[in-house]
């Protein structure tokens, strides 16, 4: 805890005890890097400053604020839970929080401990790595082990300290054992490397840019699509339309590195011609937003 007090990163969600704001940050931080979340977190809270504002919002507006952050199911679940809570107080215990859409064991424990001081431990990938190295074992019951260590006076800070140690010192590939506050009691001091780099696949996708004065052709993904349902994007092109694409960008999603080629072309069947200003307010996929920014059709 002393190490955490002296070394904690100053992050916007660490300056509040407001359960709604902590909840939003925890949902955004799932599978997303801290640095990428900060900007979205601040913008989202400006638009939806409390549960009531989020509950009243239109889903398309919620997705538009989330656009670029990825894993859009998180935004839908957050919105659904806010609607459920619009007429009641936010639950204070992890057990009840877990009954809300999109809140699993980890998120419930994080909100309950940080916002309400419930002495309940969290386990994420960082905590697992720290504990398995200290104990020199990968087959611990991580939840029970962390629960046995928790600081009952400052459970929220304890949980954040464990995760902070994994995120900033006990790194997956090259742990900084020399700077580690628990090195004296660590069973491995970093020799026990747990993470192998994932094998990455390569793929190419083509998109058509069909503009007409100040309008652009977009398509909406089907409501039942497995990925990013209901979001808007440029129409795909299976064919190479010119010898040199208008734009070529790289885009990585989980373990695949995509080369994205954008061709100038006619608006394909099924696309909708929209004013660019109108398109900017839609829930665009992160990739489409990135392309339109590169082409200076959207501002940052
Ligand atoms: S000593 Fe090294 S391996 Fe052990 S917990 Fe600290 S940073 Fe991780």
Averaged pLDDT, 234-249: 88
Q: Is 186 in the pocket of ligand 1 (CB under 6 A)?
A: yes
pLDDT tens, position by position, 244-258: 899 999 888 777 889
164 given a catalytic annotation: no
Going from N- to C-terminal start, the domains of the chain cover 2-185, 201-294
Residue nearest to atom 8 of ligand 1 (CA): 170
Q: Using pLDDT thresholds of 50, 70 and 90, give the confidence band for residue 173.
A: confident
Positive or negative: CA dihedral 266, 269, 270, 275? positive
Q: Using pLDDT thresholds of 50, 70 and 90, give the confidence band for residue 16.
A: very high
Q: Which residue among 26, 118, 128, 164 is the active-site one?
A: 26
* Mutate-to-test residue for ligand 1 from 175, 179, 184, 185, highest number of ligand atoms within 8 A of CB: 175
Beta carbons of 19 and 111 less than 8 angstroms apart: yes
Class of residue 225 by CB neighbours under 10 A (exposed 0-12, middle 13-18, buried 19+): exposed
E-strand stretches of the chain: 201-209, 211-212, 215-220, 232-233, 247-253, 256-264, 272-275
Beta carbons of 260 and 251 less than 8 angstroms apart: yes
> Ligand 1 centre from 129 Cα, in Å?
9
Positive or negative: CA dihedral 153, 156, 157, 163? positive
**Which is nearest to 24 in space by CA: 98, 110, 144, 116?**
110
Averaged pLDDT, 66-86: 92
**2-185: CATH number:** 1.10.340.30
Q: Is 188 in the pocket of ligand 1 (CB under 6 A)?
A: yes
Length of the chain (residues): 300
Report the 10 Å Cβ neighbour count for 77: 15
> Ligand 1 centre from 188 Cα, in Å?
7
Instruction: Please identify which residue in the block is written with the tokens 């239109």.
Output: 58
* Mutate-to-test residue for ligand 1 from 170, 173, 181, 191, highest number of ligand atoms within 8 A of CB: 170
**201-294: CATH number:** 3.90.79.10
Report the 10 Å Cβ neighbour count for 249: 16
Calculate the average pLDDT of the chain: 91
pLDDT of 193: 52
pLDDT tens, position by position, 21-49: 999 999 999 888 898 899 999 999 999 99
Instruction: Please identify which residue in the block is written with the tokens 């001091």.
Output: 189
Q: Is 131 in the pocket of ligand 1 (CB under 6 A)?
A: no
Cα(128)–Cα(284) distance, integer angstroms: 35
Averaged pLDDT, 73-87: 94
């Amino acid at each position: 805890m002393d190490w955490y007090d002296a070394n904690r990163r100053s992050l916007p969600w660490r300056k509040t005890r407001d359960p709604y704001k902590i909840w939003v940050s925890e949902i955004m931080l799932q599978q997303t890097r801290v640095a990428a979340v900060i900007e979205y977190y601040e913008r989202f809270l400006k638009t939806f400053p409390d549960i009531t504002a989020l509950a009243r919002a239109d889903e398309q507006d919620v997705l538009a604020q989330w656009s670029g952050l990825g894993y859009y199911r998180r935004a839908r679940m957050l919105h659904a839970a806010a609607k459920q809570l619009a007429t009641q107080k936010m639950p204070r215990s992890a057990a009840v929080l877990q009954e809300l859409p999109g809140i699993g064991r980890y998120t419930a424990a994080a909100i309950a401990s940080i916002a309400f001081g419930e002495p309940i431990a969290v386990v994420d990938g960082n905590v697992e790595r720290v504990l398995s190295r200290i104990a020199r074992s990968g087959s611990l019951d991580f939840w029970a082990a962390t629960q046995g260590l928790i600081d009952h006076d400052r459970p929220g800070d304890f949980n954040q300290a464990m995760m902070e140690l994994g995120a900033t010192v006990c790194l997956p590939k090259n742990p900084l054992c020399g700077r580690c506050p628990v090195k004296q009691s660590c069973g491995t001091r970093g020799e026990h490397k747990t993470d192998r780099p994932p094998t990455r696949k390569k793929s190419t996708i083509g998109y058509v840019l069909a503009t007409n004065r100040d309008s652009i052709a977009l398509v909406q993904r089907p409501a039942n699509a497995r990925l990013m349902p209901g979001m808007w994007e440029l129409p795909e092109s299976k064919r190479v339309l010119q010898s040199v694409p208008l734009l070529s960008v790289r885009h990585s999603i989980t373990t695949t590195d995509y080369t994205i080629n954008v061709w100038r072309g006619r608006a394909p069947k099924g696309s909708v011609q929209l004013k660019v200003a109108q398109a900017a307010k839609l829930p665009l996929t992160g990739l489409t937003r990135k392309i339109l920014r590169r082409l200076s059709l959207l501002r940052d």
